[in-house]
Amino acid sequence: MNARLRSLLSTAAAGVFVLAVTIACKGSSPPSTKPQSPASALSSSKKDYAGDWEGGGVTLHVGTDNVEYEKKTGNTSEKYTGVLDHFDGDDIIIKILIANATLNVQSPPAEVGGKWKMTVENSEVTRK
């Protein structure tokens, strides 16, 4: 194996390792609420989170069985796809493989001027 190929493989392996550690660490804090089934996680008190949201480079889908989150900043992208596990206060907890990821919600969904808005991961999003 030539040196360039070895270098490329080492770089790719390091990237995969960093990604795995990032996902594991992001969801490593224990939840303060008891995990719920996905359908009950969107109970009447959290039903306003459901739907498709967009804004500030963020697209977010919150459904009864899954959550898809993507934030694009310049040439980089952060993406989570998994099962809606539960809510920790206003934060959305996503089950991804064997770990959890937390989407920090600074402002929960609220109707403002006829449009539903919330702030998640420091980006204001509007429900489509």
Domain parsing of the chain, residue ranges: 3-127
- Put residue 97 in one of left, alpha, beta given phi > 0 → left and psi -120 to 50 → alpha: left
Predicted confidence at residue 6, as pLDDT, reads: 56
pLDDT (tens digit per residue) in 101-112: 999 999 999 999
How crowded is residue 122: how many other Cβ atoms within 10 Å of its Cβ? 10
Predicted confidence at residue 98, as pLDDT, reads: 87
- Alpha carbons 54 and 68: distance in angstroms, whole number: 12
Predicted confidence at residue 31, as pLDDT, reads: 46
H helices present in the chain, as ranges: 3-26, 38-41
| CA neighbours closer than 13 Å in the CB half-sphere of residue 21 | 6
Predicted confidence at residue 100, as pLDDT, reads: 94
Predicted confidence at residue 77, as pLDDT, reads: 94
Predicted confidence at residue 128, as pLDDT, reads: 93
Predicted confidence at residue 41, as pLDDT, reads: 76
Q: Could you read off the pLDDT tens digit of each residue along the chain, which spans 128 residues?
A: 555 545 544 554 444 444 554 555 554 444 444 455 555 678 888 999 999 999 999 999 999 889 999 999 999 999 999 999 999 999 999 999 889 999 999 999 999 999 999 999 999 999 99
- Alpha carbons 1 and 35: distance in angstroms, whole number: 48
